[in-house]
């Protein structure tokens, strides 16, 4: 594990990589490619599953809100019908699909072994509509790359 401090710049690079991964999974789905394999590759690269605890609370989960395993994350991103893990509510967040993901930082806490970022991110749909989501991500080093060990996202509060 690298010992260098995790900076805001490191976090921003990791966020761009995560956003591109979501777009790529959707592109694979839309073009008939192996989107499940694509998602597995990105999850393995971007999340700390397998070498530590990952706290993952995705946006569109109501019945079972948390995904503590790699299989649960895969089900969320591609849908339980394509990667059965027992989360029947998972319809495949990343195969919506989206054409862009943009992070708008609110705050980053830098640290020697981990960093935490909070803000909004925006998912652009095929029709150009942008969906705003709130996030908190935690990062730590795996070798020379940041991996996510905390992922919490939710839709903004509405007073209805």
In tens, the pLDDT along 88-109 reads 999 999 999 999 999 997 899 9
Q: pLDDT digits over 59-89, tens only? A: 988 888 999 999 999 999 999 999 999 999 9
Comparing 22-36, 53-67, 115-129, which segment has the lowest mean pLDDT? Answer: 53-67
Q: How many helices (H) and strands (E) does the chain have?
A: 3, 5
Is 146 in contact with 139 (CB distance < 8 Å)? yes
Task: Find the farthest-apart pair of alpha carbons in the chain and give their distance in angstroms, rounded.
Answer: 47
Distance CA 89, CA 91 (A): 6
Structure tokens at 65: 């809100």
Q: Is residue 2 pLDDT above 60, yes or no?
A: no
């Amino acid at each position: 594990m690298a010992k260098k401090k995790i900076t805001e710049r490191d976090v921003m690079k990791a966020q761009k990589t995560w956003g591109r991964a979501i777009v790529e999974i959707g592109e694979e789905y839309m073009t008939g490619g192996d989107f499940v394999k694509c998602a597995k590759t990105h999850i393995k690269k971007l999340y700390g599953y397998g070498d530590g605890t990952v706290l993952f609370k995705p946006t569109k989960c109501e019945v079972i809100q948390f995904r503590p395993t790699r299989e649960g994350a895969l089900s969320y991103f591609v849908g339980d019908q394509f990667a059965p893990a027992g989360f029947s509510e998972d319809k495949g967040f990343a195969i919506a699909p989206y054409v862009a993901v943009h992070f708008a930082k609110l705050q980053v806490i830098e640290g020697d072994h981990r960093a935490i970022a909070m803000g909004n991110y925006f998912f652009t749909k095929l029709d150009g509509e942008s969906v705003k989501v709130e996030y908190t991500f935690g990062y730590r080093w795996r070798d020379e790359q940041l991996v996510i060990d905390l992922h919490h996202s939710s839709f903004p509060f509405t007073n209805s």
